[in-house]
Amino acid sequence: MIHAKDINERTPWQDLTPGGEIYEPGTARLFNTGTWRTNTPVFHEAACKHCMLCVPFCPDMAIPVQDGKRLDFDYMHCKGCGICENVCPFQAITMVSGGAPNE
Amino acid sequence: MSDRLSGNEAVAYALKQINPDVMGAFPITPSTEIPEYFAQAVADGEVNTEYVTVESEHSSMSVCIAAQAAGARAVCATSSAGLALMYELLYVAASCRLPITLACVNRALTGPININNDHSDSMGARDSGWIQIYAENNQEAYDNFLMAMPIGETPSVRLPVMTCMDGFITSHAVENIELLDTDVVRRFIGEYNPENYLLKKENPLAVGPYDVSPYYMEHKVLEAEAMKAAKARILEVAAEFERISGRRYGLFEEYRMEDAELALVLIGSTAGTAKAAVDKLREEGVKAGLVKIRVFRPFPGEEVARALAGTKAVAVMDKSEGFSANGGPLFAETRSALYDLKNRPYLIDIVYGLGGRDVKTEDIEKVFGRLANIAATGEIGPVYTHMGQRSKEENA
């Protein structure tokens, strides 16, 4: 059985699954959608009160949380929609132009 | 066991013997009797099929797709506009590689609205990735339906199968028929055991995910390869079927083709009429023959070319228009298949029988008359014509 992690854009047709079937759950994790971003959120940790409002608003689950604190963005899955910046009451997130987080 | 059944009764009887897991049921003339008769078997407890009555053919095919993906054996029946309404789902079923079985009772497509037979419905679906097997008569409608699952469900194929018969002419005419014993049928069909399916708890499955352009083409090549592989499997299943039934099937039937100089290529019930005409012409010394296409998808191009290689003039008879302005779909396939021959016969296309327009042995004889003339003179005349319509011109 072929696993999603073993399939990429260089896989020949002979090694793909019939109908594109996927034989396991959660494979979106492997898919780098961060490249779709044209604007990028920047996290200002000092301003963040960890109210967690941004977390459920993120459509791509790109804000990881650990021990009650939000961490920096998961830039592999953040599509740069900017909803987090909009909902943050503390200006702890600002959007910058371009796909790279450090511009 | 000998019986007398209509084509629809024969398919409904096959369904009862197969006892499929799910039927997506929606009525449309002339296929209505198939779900109707089968509903009786469900109501009488003769089968344990989940009989899902839906609000459209779009839904009946959706039911089949969901059921087959879940791991069930799903069937349905339709005609004409019903098949057209399934169009989107036909592609989904084939591209998801779900071996659903559909009984298509061929009827003209609207408009003008018409309930009688031609092949415009299934010919419109010829590029949807479904295997298409056509019947000449009730016996073949029954036999083809029984062979559909062992063909489509084979792992190297995994494609849906459409078995087609001519609306009313075959679906409603009662003929003598040889039926197999139910236990023989069930042994022949076997259990449906797909390797992966939605209800398999060991590994969750995603069916029909979005395909970005770096993957879509590869999946289409896989599908195309499956259709190519289907040809050998169809012949294997036919050989297995011959062992239990004594009836032999190929990709097409060659009737008196061994030394034929003039030949017809056609599909479906007209073959019976054509065989009578061929017999009559043979008695008169005309070397006439017939190639009756049984499997249209995958199209047996090389095999048809070999069968026609020794002929002088061939008429393809299309029971659907196609509106290509260059001949019907069977003509397009046949002419393409003949291209690789060193010595090609003259080839014409005759579109006939649309919307239930009758075709008689005299009509077929006229076609052979035209072929004889072409073979004798080398003058092919108009390549693509219609037959049977009222016209101000003679010899239409």
C-beta separation of A40 from A80 below 8 A:
yes
Backbone angles phi, psi at B216, to 5 degrees: -55, -50
The CA radius of gyration of chain B, in Å to the nearest whole number, is: 21
Q: Within 10 A of B145 (CB to CB), how many other CB atoms are there?
A: 29
Tokens of B152: 């489509």
Which secondary-structure segment (H or E) carries A85? helix A83-87
How far is it, in rounded angstroms, from Cα B184 to Cα B190? 10
Can you tell me whether residue B396 is helix, strand or coil?
coil
A22 → chain B, closest CA residue? B206
Element holding B374 (H helix, E strand): helix B361-377
Distance from CA of A20 to the nearest CA of B (A): 7
Q: Which pLDDT does position B228 carry in this prediction?
A: 98
DSSP string, B199-234: T-TTS--B-S----HHHHHHHHHHHHHHHHHHHHHH
Among positive and negative, which fits the CA dihedral B206, B212, B218, B221? Answer: positive
Give B203's contacts in chain A (Cβ within 8 Å). Answer: 1, 23-24
Name which CATH class applies to B252-387: alpha beta
- The C-alpha atoms of residue B396 and residue B377 are separated, in whole angstroms, by 20
Q: Where are the domains of chain B?
A: 2-245, 252-387
Backbone angles phi, psi at B349, to 5 degrees: -120, 135
Look at residue A102 in the predicted model and tell me its pLDDT: 64
A29 or B271: which leads in pLDDT: B271
pLDDT averaged over every residue in chain B: 97
Distances (CA, A) of B166 to B136, B173, B268, B344, B360: 8, 10, 7, 31, 16
- Residue A103 reports pLDDT greater than 50: no
Report pLDDT for B395: 58
- Total number of domains in chain A: 2
Percent of chain A with pLDDT over 90: 82
Pair A88, A39 in one domain: yes
Chain B interface test: which of A22, A27, A33, A35 (most B C-beta within 10 Å): A22
Is the pLDDT confidence value at B193 over 70?
yes
B2-245: CATH homologous superfamily? Thiamin diphosphate (ThDP)-binding fold, Pyr/PP domains (3.40.50.970)
C-alpha–C-alpha distance, residues B229 and B9, integer Å = 31
Which helix (H) or strand (E) segment is B375 a member of? Answer: helix B361-377
Residue range of the domain that includes A88 = 33-103
User: What pLDDT band is residue B253 in, cutting at 50, 70 and 90?
Assistant: very high
pLDDT over 50 (residue B221): yes
Tokens 């779009």 — which residue?
A: B58
**Helices and strands: H and E segment counts in chain A:** 2, 4
pLDDT digits (tens, 9 = 90+) for B42-80: 999 999 999 999 999 999 999 999 999 999 999 999 999
Q: What is the pLDDT of residues B159-178, one digit of tens each?
A: 999 999 999 999 999 999 99
* Residues A41 and A12 both lie in one domain: no
Q: Which residues of B360-395 are buried (b: 16+ CB within 10 A; e: fewer)?
A: ebebbbebbebbbebbeeeeeeeebbbbbeeeeeee
- Which tens digits make up the pLDDT trace of B127-162? 999 999 999 999 999 999 999 999 999 999 999 999
The pLDDT of residue A28: 86
Length of chain B in terms of residues written: 396
- Mark whether A56 and A8 lie in a shared domain: no
The whole model's pTM is what?
Answer: 0.93
Helix (H, G, I), strand (E, B) or coil at A87: helix
Please give the helix or strand (H or E) that residue B262 lies within, else none.
strand B262-267
Percentage of chain B lying above the pLDDT 90 cut: 98
| Structure token digits, residue B189 | 């069909």
CA–CA distance, A34 with A36 (Å, rounded to integer) = 5
Q: Is B209 in Cβ contact with A22 (below 8 Å)?
A: yes
Does A22 contact B221 at a Cβ distance shorter than 8 Å?
Answer: no
pLDDT tens, residue by residue, A46-90: 999 999 999 999 999 999 999 999 999 999 999 999 999 999 999
Instruction: Verify whether the Cβ–Cβ distance A22 to B196 is below 8 Å.
Output: no
Give me the interface pTM, i.e. the ipTM.
Answer: 0.89
Interface check A16 vs B, CB under 8 A = yes
Beta bridge partners of B384: B349
Which residues contact residue B101 at a Cβ distance below 8 angstroms, ignoring those fewer than 6 apart? B20, B73, B74, B75, B145, B148, B149, B152, B160, B161, B163
* B250/A37 Cα distance (integer angstroms): 56
How far is the CA of B203 from the CAs of A1, A3, A22, B65, B191, in angstroms? 10, 11, 10, 20, 21
The verdict on A44 and A92 lying in the same domain is yes
Claim to verify: residue A57 and residue A84 sit in the same structural domain: yes
What are the structure tokens assigned to B362, written together?
Answer: 């005299």
Render B106-164 in DSSP notation, one character per residue: E-PPSSS---S--SHHHHHTTTSS-EEEE-SSHHHHHHHHHHHHHHHTSTTT---EEEE
Q: Which of A1, A12, A20 sits opposite B209 (nearest CB)?
A: A20
Residue B303: both structure tokens together: 């095999």
String of DSSP letters for A21-50? -B-SS-GGGG---GGG-SEEEEE-GGG---
Query: Among B210, B222, B228, which would you mutate to test the A interface (most chain A Cβ atoms within 10 Å of its Cβ)?
Result: B222
B298 vs chain A: nearest CA distance in angstroms?
Answer: 18
Residue B361 has pLDDT above 90, yes or no: yes
- Do A3 and A26 reside in the same domain of the chain? yes
> Do B2-245 and B252-387 agree at the fold level?
yes
Q: How many CB atoms lie within 10 A of CB B304?
A: 22
Question: What's residue B142's pLDDT?
Answer: 98
Report the residue of chain B nearest A31, measured CA to CA. Answer: B212
Q: Evaluate if residue B396 carries a pLDDT over 60.
A: no
- Are A69 and A92 part of one and the same domain? yes
Give how far A13 is from chain B: nearest CA, Å: 5
